[in-house]
Amino acid sequence: MYDVIILGSGPAGLTAALYTARANKKTLVLGGDRLGGQTAGIAVLENYPGWAGSGMELAEFMKNQATTFGAEVEFVSATNISGDAENGFVVKCDNGKEYSGKTVIVATGASPRKLDIEGAREFMGRGVSYCATCDGFFYSGRTVIVMGGGNSALNDALYLADLAKTVKIVYRKSEFFRAEAVLRERVAQRENIECLFNTDLVKIAAKPDSEDGELIATTTDGTEIVTDGIFVAIGHEANTDFLTEDIKRDAMGRLAPDALPAGMFVAGDVHSDIKMQIATAVGTGCTAGMDAVAFLNKMQ
């Protein structure tokens, strides 16, 4: 029986683990399929105070800090949570094991929202990608499209501009309203980035007789763009499908702390009504960890 089971190994989960482990609470982190969550895909992390490396390097540092104080980390994902604080929570995982805990902190983060147009599913992994840092290398010297207009999309475009010959950003609005000014300025300065506003993609198909696997992306006005790859950055949805229907979620699947049962806490991007940033993830991880410790102390 663990004192605290933390679901997720991003900044929120690892911060919570640091706080609970330092409080001498037996802590288990169920880290999902990779360390760091969305943070792991950030090549250069500029907006987290005190850190100038990559997202993966930050995640490794956080993990090592938490395990130094006794936290355990296993890379499996929760598929179901049952029980309660009085009798103990039981977390079933995709490796077939069950883990019991007195409290649970949900820090499972969010995943990229999938593109729902013709051809998007068919060409996923064959020209359509949701991770620029994962797949950008395969498009060196080629032509790519980035879909979206937020910070993630512009960061992806800037990363890809160092690899690809040309990058076209397709965005449905008239300008990048949601992106930070510094990113907008950098995009405007890159000669190999072209911004296509007031349009969207409606169809993806293979280019006939193409030997290089080129795609044809059709826009809302019927324009056909020949491209080697399409990188999608159109928002995120919370990873909460494993939770039972009685636990309330908002339209994005995120959780409100006051709607959770006793002994269950939430942190990071899965937390409702916060900005989806590493700094806020760390803050909510700290809060969740401290709240779990206080809850456990009251149970004694």
Active-site residue set: 131, 134-135
Looking only at the bridges linking them, the beta strands covering 236-238 and 110-112 are antiparallel
DSSP state of 207: P
User: How far is residue 230's CA from residue 144's CA, in Å, rounded to a whole number?
Assistant: 6
Let me know the angle formed at the C-alpha of 106 by 25 and 115, rounded to the nearest 5 degrees.
155
Instruction: Tell me the longest C-alpha to C-alpha distance in the chain.
Output: 70
Burial class (CB in 10 A: 0-12, 13-18, 19+), 124: middle
- Contact indicator for 119, 203 with CB cutoff of 8 Å: yes
Q: 3-state secondary structure string, 263-300?
A: CEEECHHHECCCCCCHHHHHHHHHHHHHHHHHHHHHHC
User: How far is residue 218's CA from residue 26's CA, in Å, rounded to a whole number?
Assistant: 54
Backbone φ and ψ of 7, nearest 5°? -100, 110
- Contact indicator for 1, 104 with CB cutoff of 8 Å: no
- Contact indicator for 281, 267 with CB cutoff of 8 Å: yes
Q: What residue type is assigned to position 285 of the chain?
A: G
Q: Angle of helix 151-161 relative to helix 181-189, nearest 10 degrees?
A: 30
Provide the 3-class DSSP secondary structure of residue 84.
strand
Strands of the sheet with 215-219, listed across from one edge? 201-206, 215-219, 224-227
Q: What residue type is assigned to position 125 of the chain?
A: G
